[in-house]
Amino acid sequence: MAAMLRIVNGRVYDPANGMDGVVRDVCVEDGRIVADVPPEARKIDAGGMVVMPGGVDIHCHIAGSKVNLARKLQPEDHRRDPHLRTRFTRSGTGGTVPSTFATGYRYAALGYTAAMEAAVTPLGARHTLEELQDTPVIDKGFFILVGNNVLLYRLLQEGRHEEFRHTLAWWLSATKSYAPKLVNPGSDELWKGGRNANITRLDEKIGPFDLTPRKVISAFIGAANDLGLPHPVHIHCNNLGHTGNYETTLETMRIAEGRRAHITHIQFHSYGSVAGKSGDNPTSKAREIAEFVNTHPNISADVGAVMFGRSTSMTADAPLAYMLRRFGGGKWVNADTEHESGCGILPFTYQDHIYTNALQWAIGLELFLLSEDPWRMVFSTDHPNGGSFMSYPKLIRLLMDREFRKEEMAKVNQAALENSGLRDCQGREYSLYEIAIITRAGPARLLGLTSKGHLGVGADADITIYEENADKELMFSTPRYVLKDGELIIEDHEFRADHEGRVLHVAPDYDPAIEQVIQPFFEAFYTIQFANYPVDASYLHHHQVIPTTAQMAATGSPAGS
């Protein structure tokens, strides 16, 4: 077990406990934060430094079959950006889709200690768990794609809501995943069977089903809340990337009717159209979207900011990839996973002189700057879709440093800036306290991770210590110290140890009789036997079950087993 440690003289930013730059000791024992340690415990002098909980990424793409396909699609990245081994750490490759080892080390080197892979087909759970097992240092989990699932659609269509809920719980348990994810609900049926068609309206009939996206979204929001999952349903709305889509986004949020729901990469869903012109250049509707989120405490979102440079679009939204591939004309992949989901992947470069790219960049910043509750509008670039997680320090600087933001705004397509509201937001600069909320405390709370994102007694001793610097990009690029589970992983900016993080997953209770409903569907339609489908415990090494509210009440333990 890791040794005892006392961090002294640092300015502590721990928003969950109301600490806003207070100079106080932080004590660590056996991988957890404790109230005190004996005087002989090792001391770290954090004078002139900022102490924060480790970063928590609520939405990124770092493991599984689509991520691996994206790596294979870009061998040039492997040559361009080798990740060399050190005495303590292993080698890998970088680029916008780093290899498993490089992903863990690079996140840790930015002070991140947890990240959630946001889109995995249930059939791909094994592959994903194997890659997550190979992703060092950070804790991690994954969301499963259920929003186009044929069996769940059938149950819903027949009004079998209780069985729908049990089936969803079974699927989460069977895959050892963390949360249900909806992507462009209803689209796969049209895409697969309808000559590359997509669904565009929430009240449109979904192919052969007597269902609409509205019914599907509402059912999943209800089931996730009824199951008391630590994180509510994670929604990639319909019409991602399309001009005028903000109305779909607003309407999707209204479907929640006060129930908890998380809207992901909301920047990609905040586009208006020029009055009287359809299909033209988009405009910013960040103000309308931010206003809705600000006034609806049941809704949370991550921004999905766009950063200029190379990215990789990888999505379960197959029709979107089909649309994007017309712009670049380069390599792309389209794939389908039986009755569960679709997928599209293509390398993409965001360029500051291009109208649409500059507008997307501006909308991301606007959403942050218009947000009145940083706990519910949290940090993401939808890595690697809007940009690599390696661009997080620069994005932090854009939020914290008005002058830098002005300089960057002068470089981009000015017509796009005119059609955004970014110039009107220049009064605001994020404080360190707010940065600590959007990158750590907020995501941890939204994920229901009660022992992460804060430095209170009992929390995981995942701690990042940055040297204070006026250049916030530099400051957040190179933490001086990173502790994971109380172990000093990075010291004086360099790796001093390797570490195996945990897989975080849920195991919601369900009626075992539901298997009699699920099994016949597998026998009739799947390529895999029902008995072989659930992921067994041998795929879990270092792991932690995060309880549902009912399980928490039964054990009286908020932190899980």
Q: Interface residues with Zn ion (CB under 5 A)?
A: 118, 382
Q: How far is the CB of 552 from Zn ion (least distance, A)?
A: 28
Between CA 42 and CA 5 the distance in angstroms is 5
The whole-angstrom separation of Cα 388 and Cα 137 is 19
**C-alpha–C-alpha distance, residues 110 and 57, integer Å:** 12
Least separation in angstroms between residue 204's CB and Zn ion is 23
CB of 183 to Zn ion, least distance (A): 8
Ramachandran region, residue 55 (left: φ > 0; alpha: ψ -120 to 50; beta: rest): beta
Q: Which residue is nearest to Zn ion (CB)?
A: 382
Choose between 382 and 473: whose C-beta lies nearer to Zn ion.
382
Shortest distance, position 174 Cβ to Zn ion, whole Å: 23
Contact call for residues 129 and 539 (beta carbons, < 8 A): yes
Distance CA 24, CA 3 (A): 20
Residue 146 CB, nearest distance to Zn ion (Å)?
Answer: 15
Residue nearer to Zn ion on the CB measure, 343 or 459: 343
Q: Which is nearer to Zn ion, 118 or 461 (CB)?
A: 118
Beta carbons within 10 angstroms of residue 458's beta carbon: 13
CA atoms within 13 Å, Cβ hemisphere of 511: 10
User: In the block, which residue shows the tokens 């991602």?
Assistant: 240
Please tell me the distance from the alpha carbon of residue 107 to that of residue 439, in angstroms, as a whole number: 13
Query: To which residue do tokens 């979904």 refer?
Result: 206
Q: How far is the CB of 118 from Zn ion (least distance, A)?
A: 5
- What residues have CB less than 8 Å from 186, skipping those under 6 apart? 147, 148, 199, 204, 206, 207, 211, 212, 213, 216, 238
Least separation in angstroms between CB 335 and Zn ion:
16
**Could you tell me the smallest distance in angstroms from the CB atom of residue 337 to Zn ion?**
16
Q: 453: which DSSP letter?
A: S
Report in angstroms the alpha-carbon separations of 440 from 21, 63, 181, 379: 15, 21, 21, 9
Closer residue to Zn ion (CB): 57 or 382: 382
End-to-end Cα, the chain, rounded Å = 18
Closest CA to 339 of 122, 110, 514: 122
Q: Which is nearer to Zn ion, 12 or 318 (CB)?
A: 318
Comparing CB distances to Zn ion, the nearer of 382 and 434 is 382
Of the two residues 175 and 551, which places its CB atom closer to Zn ion in the complex?
A: 175
Q: What is the 3-state secondary structure (H, E, C) of 93-110?
A: ECCCCCCHHHHHHHHHHC
Tell me, what DSSP letter sits at residue 11? E
Q: By C-beta, is 57 or 473 nearer to Zn ion?
A: 57
Complex with Zn ion: residue 118 or 425, whichever CB lies closer: 118
Question: Residue 542 CB, nearest distance to Zn ion (Å)?
Answer: 25
